[in-house]
Amino acid sequence: MSHRWLRGLPLAGALTGALIAGCAQIAPQPPTATRPQPAPTTAPEARRPPPPIKSTKPLPIPERPLAVKTECSYRDDVGTEGRLVLDVQASRVQQFWSQVDMGSKGRCSFDLASFKQTTFTSSPTLVAGACTVRMWEQGDQVTVSYQNCASQCTPGAHEYLWPTLVSRKTGTCR
């Protein structure tokens, strides 16, 4: 007669002991003393209001005639190269020539001779067919934006055309 079941007794005993130990109550621990919190400081820093949150809204466009003159060139991080000649006096565009080369994506070229100025307010507007070039001042920058200008670009390049920003202080562009 084999007593194989006797070999499993130590394992069964250990499991039964663990089950019983799991049901035992743990003696409560004495409460720990809590440290008193320091009183809030009344230093001048505590009374200062928080700094104002900077607005993410664009700056308003001034209601004055636009005046900017620059000859600049730039190259951005992705390799786009641009050149701009711009002369606007009393919101009348005297000179405008721009070329933006986007490498393998193509090139866009703009010349004042191809455009007609349609708006003479603080935001001069040039139009050539469906292409619209708008200029406006915001803070220390003048923005030259291009809209629907596929006719001024190699095929598909207009989709990668971003506005040109001109610094009023330095005349540089990007």
* Residue ranges covered by each domain of the chain: 68-167
Tokens of 172: 């540089």
Amino acid 17: pLDDT? 58
pLDDT at 57: 72
Burial of 26 (0-12, 13-18, 19+ CB in 10 A): exposed
Collapsing DSSP to helix, strand or coil, 84 comes out as: strand
Cβ–Cβ contacts within 10 Å for residue 104, how many? Answer: 6
Cα–Cα distances in angstroms (integers) from residue 9 to residues 15, 16, 19, 73, 117, in the given order: 10, 10, 15, 89, 100
Task: Return the closest-CA partner of residue 66 out of 26, 120, 13.
Answer: 120
Main-chain dihedrals φ then ψ at residue 47, nearest 5 degrees: -90, -10
What confidence tens digit (pLDDT) does each residue in 135-149 have?
999 989 999 999 999
Running DSSP on this structure, what letter comes out for residue 33?
A: P
| SS3 at position 79 | coil
Residue 23, helix vs strand vs coil? helix
Query: Is residue 164's pLDDT more than 70?
Result: yes
d(CA 130, CA 147): 8
pLDDT at 48 over 90: no
| pLDDT of 3 | 56
Cα separation, 136 vs 165, whole angstroms: 10
Mark residue 106 as left, alpha or beta (left: phi above 0; alpha: psi -120 to 50; beta: remaining): left
Across 41-50, 71-80, 94-103, 129-138, least confident range = 41-50
For 5, left (φ over 0), alpha (ψ -120 to 50), or beta? Answer: alpha
